[in-house]
Amino acid sequence: MKLAELTLITTNEGKYLEIIDALEGTGVSIRRIDREYPEIQADTLESVVGFGLNYLKPFVPGPFIIDDSGLFVDALGGFPGVYSSYAFRTIGNEGILTLLKGKGNRRASFRTVLGMVHEGKEHFFRGECRGYISELPKGVNGFGFDPIFVPEGREMTFAEMSVQMKNDISHRGMALRRLKNFLVNHGTLS
């Protein structure tokens, strides 16, 4: 059966805009539910997403997706990683820049795990984008750590890019392409 509607549960407007853009032209309309759900303290994005899917299942009729992402900084042993949300609320972009002061290695990656419940089953789609942390915040687009992250091979931060440009190379864009492939291969997309 063709998938006409996919529910996205997120309070994050930026994620919503990126997901809408990536799935444009697929014929699937995104219905957003703007609500929080419990995010457990765990070592992996997959565990956080898995818990969220199970928690939400009884409340959401039909197929739905959630997104959990994080910024993993090499010189900080992968911090903030699964603690990205807490780190952003507390130390923010300036705090990450301070932690990296004097460090030669500014390499980092963004990772996304998209979780979907479709026909009662759970599916996970992953995406990663390598890059580095800029010296100063730049740009006004996007959200979260976008002003301090420069993807590999580029000279602009994510916050200096349009939604489409970011989706072409980002962790979330990659996870969404994998989701789209899954839907095409399972005959739920034309």
CB of 20 to ligand IMP, least distance (A): 14
Exactly one of 52, 70, 81, 131 binds ligand IMP (CB under 6 A); that residue is 70
User: Which of 68, 73, 108, 118 touches ligand IMP (CB under 6 A)?
Assistant: 68
Minimum distance, C-beta of residue 58 to ligand IMP, in the bound complex (Å): 22
Please state the closest distance from residue 31 (CB atom) to ligand IMP, in A: 19
- Quote the CA–CA distance of 67 and 172 in Å, as a whole number: 8
For residue 74, indicate whether it is catalytic.
no
Query: In this complex, which beta carbon is closest to ligand IMP, that of residue 6 or of residue 114?
Result: 114
**What DSSP element (H or E) covers 171?**
helix 171-185
Q: Name the 3-class secondary structure at 184.
A: helix
Chain centre distance of CA 172: 4
State how far Cα 19 lies from the chain centre. 9
Among 8, 22, 53, 69, binds ligand IMP (CB under 6 A): 69
* Secondary structure class of 113 (helix, strand, coil): strand
Q: Rule CB under 6 A: choose which of 26, 44, 47, 85 binds ligand IMP.
A: 85
Q: Nearer to ligand IMP by C-beta: 137 or 144?
A: 144
Could you tell me the two tokens for 79?
A: 């911090």
Helix (H, G, I), strand (E, B) or coil at 13: helix
Residue among 71 and 133 whose Cβ is closer to ligand IMP: 71
Shortest spacing between CB 159 and ligand IMP, in angstroms: 8
Which alpha helices (DSSP H) does 36-170 contain, by range?
A: 45-56, 84-90, 92-99, 163-169
**Applying CB under 6 A, does 127 fall inside the site for ligand IMP?**
no
